[in-house]
Amino acid sequence: MREFRSENSEMSDVASAQDLMRGFVVSRPGSNLKQKLGSAAAALKWTQSRAKAVLYGEARRIDAHEMERLEAIADQKLAREQEKEGRGHDAKHELERAFAMVAAHLAAEAAQGDRDAAHALRKIVGAMAVA
């Protein structure tokens, strides 16, 4: 769970909640702010007016259970992003490995004098690099 207050920090619970809410609303599905806000409110199990008040910093206070819910969702979002990054690195590694295998095959075909196969493989690799 996040710790928002420190000795040097003046950020209030309302400001912290507003900051978390901004990040949460932006990431929600929907084509406009009203849809995104509605989606965020539903996920938080809040009314749309409560979500809007927190988003715009109009809330006078943030209850502990509201802050806990926002923090939990922010932590889940962070975990998903880190997981995506990890998978992205794995996919990149696999792609680099595939390119290395194709390059080795190209070299072998060219060494054997099979220019047609080498030419076809170069076209495939060129198309893969563009995609």
Q: What is the pLDDT of residues 46-105, one digit of tens each?
A: 999 999 999 999 999 999 999 998 888 888 888 887 777 776 666 667 777 776 776 676
What does the pLDDT read at residue 114?
65
What's the chain's Rg over C-alpha atoms?
25
pLDDT of amino acid 101:
72
Distance CA 3, CA 10 (A): 13
What distance lies between CA 116 and its chain's CA centroid?
Answer: 43
Rounded Cα–Cα distance for residues 72 and 117 (Å)? 55
- On average, the pLDDT of the chain sits at 77
Q: What is the pLDDT of residue 130?
A: 55
pLDDT, position 12: 83
Biggest CA–CA distance in the chain, Å, is 78
DSSP type of residue 107 = H
In whole angstroms, give the CA distance from residue 95 to residue 83: 18
Average pLDDT in the 16-41 region?
85
Quick one: pLDDT at residue 9?
46
Q: What is the mean pLDDT of residues 20-38?
A: 84
Cα separation, 88 vs 81, whole angstroms: 10
At residue 47, the pLDDT reads: 94
Query: In one letter, which amino acid is 129?
Result: A
pLDDT score of 54? 93
Q: Residue 127: what residue type?
A: A
Burial (0-12, 13-18, 19+ Cβ within 10 Å), 37: buried
| pLDDT of 105 | 65
Q: Which residue has the higher pLDDT, 124 or 81?
A: 81
SS3 86: helix
124 contact partners, CB below 8 Å, separation of at least 6 = 102
